[in-house]
Structure 1
Amino acid sequence: MLTLSPNRTKRIAIAIVASCFAPLNSHAADSDARIRAIVDKAIRPIMAEYKVPGMAVAVTVDGQAHVFNYGLASVKDNTPVGDATLFELGSISKTLTATLASYAQVLGKLSLDEHPGTYMPELKGSPIDKMSVLNFGTYTGSGLPLQFPDEVTDATMTDYFRQWKPQAASGAQRRYSNPSLGLFGHLTALALKSDFSDAMEQQLFPQLGMKTSYVRVPESEMANYAWGYDEDNLPRRMDPAVLVAQTYGVRSTAADVLRFVQVNIDPQRLDEPMRRAVEGTHVGYFKVGAMVQGLGWEQFPYPVTLQRLQAGNSRTMIMEPNAAKRLTVGPAAFAKTLFDKTGSTGGFGSYVAFVPEKKIGIAILANKNYPIPARVKAGHAILKQLAP
């Protein structure tokens, strides 16, 4: 029988342990390098073509997160984009507003079938009160415009809604609208008996595990807040506006947005009732052209062609009324579904997409409002290569 010295035995044990973990570490590094190559190929040409100063791209594959940073958060200060960099999410904020509304519904405080006057008595009996809360959450109510008229202020917002005359029958058409989704978020806060920003920052974000997301950026985080750049490459950030918090007011990091994507891919990791709230935003309510409209998220059958995905995110879908067909609420509209949402402000552009059945998702954040078709093309290309 061979007898080994204590030192010899220790060296052998260390070697065995190292041999077990080295392939795992090597595999993880190879995976990260492979995904970086995929993301680089899609993102670097966009930055060059559209002169985008900075971008952050976060990818999840089978529960594993990968975050890649590019360029500058501030051109003037030569500040690089980093993991702590805050971007304006634009209308991706609407998916978070929708999640808060779904949460209020799960708690029994908000009903999508009720009318706005139930929560906002000032609107009771007015023409807009004939619509349902669901209509405002899916842009299928009264044909409200894309933006509030310039003369509308916080003080006159209620009068604007009270005097509004519906432009279409309830549920007949989808017209993408900040006033519509803004009212949806406002009604949600009233139902929760809370300030909207407080509800987002104190109730929603913590339960979703979002630790670096803000409606109101605290002074301690201002150094991380990227500057956006307009078409003339001049620095800017979002301007105050009516119901901005509800519609496009969230600032966040790529990693935090990816956490939101991951809990949408796998809501089971959440506690009740937030799990049911997230699942509620995955219900499809209206068929509109190439896509299905849910609460916040837009839905497509997966796999989906680039042409169909771009059609569902086209200027026509954003700027014009489109015929809508109410779906029977029940099983998912598609056997496999890609959920997505674009977002823009004057100086920022973003895109989020995920496929729960494939456990893949992506968040693309940029400090320039570059064309939506380019964002969708990049996201589609990356997800196509990540799909198992």
Structure 2
Amino acid sequence: MSDVTLSEFVEATATQFGIPGVAVGVLIDGQDVFACHGVTSLDNPQPVDSDTLFQLGSVTKTYTATALMRLAAQGRVELDAPVRTYLPELALADEDAATRITVANLLNHTAGLDWNLLVDTGDGEDALAEFVARLPELGLIAASGARASYSQAGYNLAGRVIEKVTGQPFEQAIAELIFAPLGLTHSFFASREITARRFAEGHNAEADGSLTVARLWRPWRANNPGGGLASSAADQLRWARFHLGDGGAVLPTDTLRAMRRPTVALRASTFGDAIGVGWFLRDIDGVRAIGHGGSGNGQFAELLIVPERDFAIVVMSNAGPEGIACNQAIVRWALERYLRVLDRDPEPISYDPSRAAELIGTYAIDAMTLTIAADETGLNLAVGVKPEIRAASDQEVPPDYPAAAIGLLPGDGDEYLVTHGGLRGQLGFFSRDESGAVVGIDLAGRLFQRVAA
């Protein structure tokens, strides 16, 4: 076992990847252990500590899912009921889909909704209602229940269900259902509450590799249910303790445990092997783990829990694109150091130009484009915001990810691993139609559909 301490490894790893600030918390043997490195911002540097607020991004979804499970346990929500039971005004691009999508479909990303709408519906208490009113503009990628495809819009819609059932703004409902009873005193949605405390700013890499502070600090309010929470390493370990415990007065124990059970399988996904309720499920070296990652503009978070070992780790970093690799390296080191569990990437097969030819092309979701290209050395993948979206935005838009090398994996040859670049370690797969033609690619759980040449 390594003699390197957690603090030493975090410092070395943050330095290696050029991350200004990292906060790490580990729950092991019933004790909280923290290792914090660096500063909150290159422009206004303050030391990072265990109470520093970072943007959690999509880790927020675990809170939204848990709140809905609490409402279900109280008999106020039926998970298998159509969303229209609570939002009769719901309209989608397809009327049949609008009638069929259930609350459970939203929570395990099987609603068939595309990733998201990039629309700012303001900072008022009607932000979610206005977002839902715009959903007829969102594309549908499958029938409800047919497959999993990660959807921020689906969780925003789930947040609106919470508003309608409780009669409260989403943020207030979460505070009363989750924050207050669990004593989460460093978890906030509102900018005025966040900026009154020590908080981390995101950073993005310029073309020359230098870092600049991301000026768009938090997402639009309508995205709060799926990605708007700012929290600390200390609060995230409290959150992990709750999900490792008996639920107390917040959730019946059997309901808490049910969130960890598979509801839909995943294929070649960095997220894991399956989705429970709000959690991604993974088998790592024979041990079952649950977790969720998240990203903002130059900020990245990872929360992983191993229930059978009463273990949890949270890592939050404030620079992109290397924050993903930094977080992953720290999580993997901790799994090996504390649990003797090894998490390793699969080995790609040798590059075959003839096999690669049918994969080359452009793929898209509503706001982003993914391009697969090839040269004599292999395949590469580039993903970024559509130029027309970037040009039309009056807000700062995160930079595109530069091209990254990918390798195909053993098996049918449709699964791949990103082997180099800021997205390295990401798993995905190409999908085909009934004729065998490649029609899509999954990256980070999202289905990018092929664009005709």
Common topology (TM > 0.5): yes
Deviation at 1:49, TM superposition (A): 3.1
Between the aligned partners of 2:224 and 2:307, the Cα distance in structure 1 is 28
Task: Tell me the residue number matched to 1:282.
Answer: 260
CA distance in structure 1 between the aligned counterparts of 2:135 and 2:148, rounded to whole angstroms: 18
AA aligned to 1:256 is D
1:246 to 203, 225, 231: 225
Q: Residues 67 and 49 (structure 1 numbering): CA distance in 2 closer, same or farther, change over 3 Å? A: same
1:346 to 272, 297, 301: 297
How far, CA to CA, are the matches of 1:195 and 1:274 in structure 2?
A: 25
Q: Within 5 Å, give how 1:142-161 maps onto structure 2.
A: 142=112, 144-150=113-119, 154=127, 156-161=130-135
> Which secondary structure state, in structure 1, belongs to the residue aligned with residue 261 of structure 2?
coil
Alignment partner, residue 180 of structure 2: 206
Change (3 A) 1:259 1:272: closer
Deviation at 1:198, TM superposition (A): 0.2
Q: Which of 240, 243, 247 is the matching residue for 1:261?
A: 240
> 2:101 — aligned with what?
131
Q: How far apart are residue 159 of structure 1 and its match?
A: 3.2
* CA deviations over 1:105-155 (Å, ceiling 9, x no partner): 11111111111111111027663221111111111112x222314477747
Per-residue Cα deviation, 1:77-131 (whole angstroms, up to 9, x for no partner): 3311123211111111111111111111111111111111111110276632211
Summarize the alignment of residues 65-84 of structure 1 with structure 2, pairs less than 5 Å apart. Answer: 65-84=32-51
| Partner-residue secondary structure (3-state), 1:259 | helix
Q: Say whether the 8 Å CA contact 1:207–1:274 is kept in structure 2.
A: no
In structure 2, C-alpha distance between the alignment counterparts of 1:260 and 1:36, rounded to whole Å: 29
How far residue 297 of structure 1 moved from its aligned partner, in angstroms, is 1.0
Does structure 2 conserve the Cα–Cα contact (< 8 Å) formed by 1:145 and 1:175? yes
Residue 240 of structure 1 and its aligned partner are, at CA, apart by 4.2
| 8 Å CA contact 1:128, 1:162 repeated in 2 | no
Asked if 1 retains the 8 angstrom alpha-carbon contact of 2:259 and 2:277, the reply is: yes
1:296 match: secondary structure: coil
**What letter matches 2:141 in structure 1?**
Q
Structure 2 Cα separation of the partners of residues 302 and 191 of structure 1? 38
- Quickly say closer, same or farther: Cα 1:129–1:49, change in 2 above 3 A: farther
Which structure has more relative contact order (CA 8 Å, sep 6+)? It is 1
Structure 1 pair 225/141, CA: closer, same or farther in 2 (3 Å)?
same
Question: Match for residue 11 of structure 1?
Answer: none
- 2 CA distance for matches of 1:35 and 1:75? 32
Distance 1:127 1:172, change over 3 A: closer
Residue 276 of structure 2 is matched in structure 1 by 294
CA contact (8 A) 1:200 1:215 kept: no
Runs of 4+ in 1 over 6 A off after TM superposition: none
1:310 aligns with: none
Structure 1: distance between partners of 2:49 and 2:9: 19
Q: Distance in 2 between matches of 1:150 and 1:35?
A: 48
Aligned-residue Cα RMSD (Å) equals 2.6
Is residue 109 of structure 2 the alignment partner of residue 122 of structure 1?
no
| Total equivalences in the alignment | 322
What secondary structure sits across from 1:60 in the alignment?
Answer: strand
Structure 2: tracts of 5 or more residues without a match:
341-453
Q: Which residue of 1 aligns with 2:434?
A: none
Q: Kindly report which structure 2 residues correspond to 1:39-54, keeping only aligned pairs within 5 A, or say none.
A: 39-40=6-7, 42-54=9-21
Between Structure 1 and Structure 2, the one with more strand by share is: 2
Percent of residue pairs bearing the same amino acid type: 24
Rounded Cα–Cα distance in structure 2 between residues aligned with 1:213 and 1:285: 28
Q: Is the 8 A contact 2:36 2:50 kept in 1?
A: yes
Displacement of 1:179 in angstroms is: 0.4
The aligned amino acid for 1:58 is G
Q: Which structure shows the higher helix fraction?
A: 1
The correspondence of residues 174-213 of structure 1 with structure 2, limited to 5 A, is 174-213=148-187
How far apart in 1 are the matches of 2:40 and 2:218? Answer: 19
Go from structure 1 to structure 2 and tell me whether the alpha carbon gap of 1:247 and 1:219 turns closer, same or farther (over 3 Å shift): closer
Unaligned runs of 5+ in 1: 1-33, 305-335
Are the structure 2 counterparts of residues 54 and 359 from structure 1 closer, same or farther at C-alpha, using a change threshold of 3 Å?
Answer: same
Change (3 A) 1:68 1:62: same
> What code does the residue aligned with 2:279 have?
W
Deviation at 1:158, TM superposition (A): 2.9
CA shift at 1:41, angstroms?
5.3
- Is residue 246–residue 256 contact of structure 2 (8 Å, CA) maintained in 1? no
Contact 1:128 1:164 in 2 (8 A): no
Which residue of the partner structure matches residue 449 of structure 2? Answer: none
Please list, as runs of the form range in 1=range in 2, the aligned pairs for 1:311-350 lying within 5 A after superposition: 336-350=287-301
Partner residue in 2 for 1:380: 332
Counterpart among 39, 42, 62 of residue 95 in structure 1: 62
Q: Which has the larger radius of gyration?
A: 1
Q: Cα distance, 1:189 vs. partner?
A: 2.6
How far 1:276 moved relative to its partner?
Answer: 4.9
Per the alignment, do residues 374 and 47 of structure 1 end up closer, same or farther by CA in structure 2, a change over 3 Å counting?
closer
Cα distance in structure 1, aligned partners of 2:108 and 2:255: 16
Matching of residues 360-371 of structure 1 within 5 Å: 360-369=311-320, 370-371=322-323
The question of 1:231 aligning with 2:213 is answered: no
